[in-house]
Amino acid sequence: MLSPRLFRQLTDSLFLGSQSNPAARFCLAAKCAACCARNRPIAAAIRHASSSSSTRWKSRQGNDFFAREAKVQGLKSRAAFKILEMNEKYKLFKAGQTVVDLGFAPGSWSQVAVNRTSPNGRVIGIDIIPTQPPKGVSTIQGNFLSPTIQAEVRAYVQDPDLGRPRREMSSAADSAGLSEEDLEEVERGYIDIERNANLEGVEAETIGQPGAEQTERASGTPAKKLSMKERDKLLGRVVDVVLSDMSEPWDQTTGFYKKSLSDPYSRMMNTSGITFKDHVGSMDLCMAALTFSFDTLRTGGHFLCKFYQGSEDKALETKLKRLFAKVHREKPDSSRSESKEGYFVALRRKENPTREEVF
């Protein structure tokens, strides 16, 4: 039979539950395991709870050398080391160039481009997500697959003054010798300059590769007498490097209340885990970037795009070889080994191929 004391303890724990006062109970052990477990707050166990996927991601980021190094160097993301590695190998950037970065968010590639094209270079970033751009980068928010957005980007880059670093006067001595018009231009803000910029007259739809007759009609000068730079300018080809790190974004489901550009709703690096779906989506984006490059990239310019490996990347590589002198496949060391992503580096755009020949 149970003693009265043990019976009372059992009934108290079964029927009274949390209403019983554990402090009133007498325990001979100074560190009784049962008492410690009973008195431990429930919130303490909940505080450390997290999903397995979140734990894996945090562990991977914490152990990733490039992620840690990007944070130390003030880079937007570890992706900066991919473009740094490819630039070191192929010499993509030079001072004073015009660079268009498609799918620029969060901005690490644009950071590298600004640094490598200074002084007097300009970098234009396009992305569907609202993102605070790095210093020195001009941005356009919108879906690049939209013809309207592509036309706006073409119009922007064809104005040689838009997006350039502006002169800053630190003292009155710097303003000596400047006319009133020059002083007024220096004092104007970026927003005023771009709001009043004359973008009229730029065709929204770019036709196919013009031949000699179209070039002569546009310039009034025989095509043979124009320099290559002049021919490119007449045809709207003024960009030196086109970068494409685009990924198809997930549909936004939450975060609509966030209005700050410094804290955007992040939908980047959006692979679905379905190999064929990711591959096909990347091919569509690469083709859009290549079409844009055909219209805007100057002779001798470079093109770099990310793709996910699959059955159609060979066809894309063939198109690139028709338009560029050299085409390379790259898998940078900073790209994770388990990732299916790869990069096409196309160097030195040819002048003569027509749209029909390329596509």
Report, as residue numbers or ranges, the catalytic residues.
306
In order, the DSSP letters of 225-257 are GS-HHHHHHHTT--EEEEEE---PPPPP-S-TT
Closest among 310, 308, 311, 306 to 346, alpha carbons compared: 306
Pair of tokens at residue 339: 């990732």
Q: Phi, psi at residue 349, to the nearest 5°?
A: -60, 135
| β partners of residue 140 | 126
Calculate Rg over the CA atoms of the chain: 30
Count CB neighbours of 294 within 10 A: 22
The contacts of residue 345 (CB under 8 Å, 6+ apart) are 86, 90, 92, 302, 303, 304, 327, 328, 329, 330
Q: Which amino acid is at 217?
A: R
The contacts of residue 35 (CB under 8 Å, 6+ apart) are 22, 25, 27, 29
The DSSP 8-state label assigned to residue 165 in this structure reads P
Count CB neighbours of 283 within 10 A: 18
Pair of tokens at residue 194: 């771009």
Closest among 132, 140, 141, 144 to 108, alpha carbons compared: 132
